[in-house]
Structure formats: C-alpha cells, structure tokens
C-alpha cells in the first residue's frame, strides 16, 4: 500500500460522487478512465458497438471468465445484433463487475484522510468499502494537495 501511495503522491487522482450512495470515490486517472470505458461499453446497443467501446484487454478477460464459469465456449454474436450484457457478464447486473473502487480507497487516499473524513463499512457480499464524506470535499481536496496529490473532479466519467 505504501508503494502505491508514494506513486499517487507524485500525481493526480480523479474523483466524483458515487451514483448509488452519498460518498466520494477517488482513483488514479488510468483506473478511473478504464472503469468509465467499461461502463460506457455496457450501455451499447449492439455487439459491434460494445466491442468498439470496451477496452481490448477486457473483452479477452470477460470471455475467459465466462467460458470458465459456464464450461463452454462463448461465441460473440454478430456486430449488428442487440447487445445483451447478461449473456456475457451476469456480474455486471449484480454490481460485481467492473471492480468496485470504494473497496480500494486505502490504496490511494492517505490513512489520515480516511480516518478523519471516511467511514469503513461492510457489505454483505463484497467485504469492506469506504464512504467518504461528500460534504467535506473541499477539505479533503485541500488535504490531498498538502500530500502532493492533485485531485480533479470528473463527473463526466463513470467510476465508483
């Protein structure tokens, strides 16, 4: 964890409000953009659009996981066929895919900030996660800056 915090302390974090609860969520730009791309792809209308929008490495991983889970080779439908995420990745509907970044806040947010403005919660299925007080956004961003971390609000991206 200290290595990742050192890496972040020399850079930038993107942040936004989570869509499902009152909390902020933070992530390095590459992680936030990757997760956002996945969410955008899962709103595709056709299989072709889905494949175009999904990060290339993700499709290989999704196919591998699905084939392993069901024990059969999944054949991607034709490009103009309607996209149905449930046949490829039921975990998306369950909220188990893509990764839930609120579980990873200690990787990127210094402990003193989490201790002051965060609250560890426990989910029934996915273990612990962090609620970070959205009402303290300015103070959190300022404290991150004092740690050498630039925080940039990115409501245009879909990550949580």
d(CA 138, CA 146): 12
Burial class (CB in 10 A: 0-12, 13-18, 19+), 38: buried
Taking only the tens of pLDDT, the chain with its 160 residues reads: 454 554 554 589 999 999 889 999 999 999 999 999 999 999 999 999 999 999 988 999 999 888 888 888 899 999 999 999 888 988 887 777 898 899 999 999 999 999 999 999 998 777 799 999 999 999 999 999 999 999 999 999 999 9
């Amino acid at each position: 964890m200290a290595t990742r915090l050192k890496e972040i302390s020399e850079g930038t974090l993107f942040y936004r409000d989570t869509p499902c609860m009152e909390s902020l969520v933070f992530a390095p730009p590459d992680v936030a953009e990757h997760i956002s791309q996945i969410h955008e792809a899962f709103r595709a209308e056709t299989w072709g659009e889905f494949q175009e929008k999904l990060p290339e490495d993700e499709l290989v991983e999704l196919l591998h996981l699905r084939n392993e889970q069901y024990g059969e080779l999944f054949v991607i439908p034709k490009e103009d066929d309607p996209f149905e995420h449930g046949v490829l990745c039921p975990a998306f509907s369950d909220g188990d895919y893509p990764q839930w970044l609120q579980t990873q806040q200690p990787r990127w947010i210094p402990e003193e900030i989490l201790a002051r403005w965060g609250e560890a919660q426990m989910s029934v299925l996915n273990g612990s996660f962090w609620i970070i007080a959205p009402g303290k956004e300015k103070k959190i961003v300022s404290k991150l800056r004092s740690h050498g971390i630039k925080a940039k609000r990115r409501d245009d991206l879909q990550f949580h």
